[in-house]
Structure 1
């Protein structure tokens, strides 16, 4: 079963670090995806496969949101430039869509690998705040 809390937290970590990572283009976003995927995998715990899955979801979510933001900006820019701008914007949008899909794939893959490492390092998901026996209720 998917731990959506782990996926959302991993996505938020990757997003925040990605904003700070703009100071180092490329490297900053790569590191943000790795850390976000690791966090998602570690929180989900349960081993290699479970960590991989949660890291993959966190990275894919980040790529989809990033692609949608780029599409909105290009669409609004074309809309403000009138019919010719709309035509140019539409043509550019197809290229941007292809780039956004590629970036989403890369972000999801790197996050999945980091998530697998996180999942291996936390074989007991109850200790990562998922509920159950961990925390105050263990006594």
Structure 2
């Protein structure tokens, strides 16, 4: 049921949207979910599933990138950088990551279903 080619492409695009186009995140996720569902060519349920998996993986990768930036890059900015800053924001960041995981999966899943519907009609 999971088409890994579509999931990996959607995952990479989701990380790019989160990293470079954060102000346009919702619109970017709509496009990425549609593209993932279209590449899957598996109907509405398959497109929804593949886009949701890609969104979840993209959230996890973006969270890992955040951890590396907080640990290594943030240490140049004083007391709130490095491990101290990550420890202070760790609990609240966990809830934000879980919320983003659900958000990415839902938004990308819905448009992935539309992409899957369009791809299956050809």
The TM-score bracket by the shorter chain reads 0.7 to 0.9
The structure with the larger Rg is: 1
| Superposed CA offset, 1:6-53 (max 9, x none) | 11112223333445524xx1xx11111111111111111221111100
- 1:60-71 equivalences under 5 Å are 60-71=56-67
| Cα distance change of structure 1 residues 71 and 16 upon mapping to structure 2, 3 Å threshold | closer
1:2 corresponds in structure 2 to 2
What pairs up with 1:91-102 in 2 under 5 angstroms?
91-102=88-99
Following superposition, the deviation at residue 90 of structure 1 comes to 1.1
5+ unaligned residues in a row in structure 2: which ranges?
Answer: none
Alignment of 1:46-65 (within 5 A): 46-65=42-61
- Aligned-residue Cα RMSD (Å) equals 2.5
Decide which of 59, 68, 71 is 1:72's aligned counterpart. 68
Structure 1 counterpart of 2:118? 121
Higher relative contact order (CA 8 A, sep 6+): 2
Q: TM-score, normalised by structure 2?
A: 0.81
Secondary structure, in 3 states, of the residue corresponding to 2:21?
helix
Q: TM-score, with normalisation over the residues of structure 1? A: 0.72
The size of the alignment, in residue pairs, is 119
Matched with 1:111 is: 108
**2:33 aligned with 1:33, yes or no?**
no
Higher mean C-alpha displacement, 87-96 vs 56-65:
87-96
- Gaps (5+ residues) in structure 1? 128-139
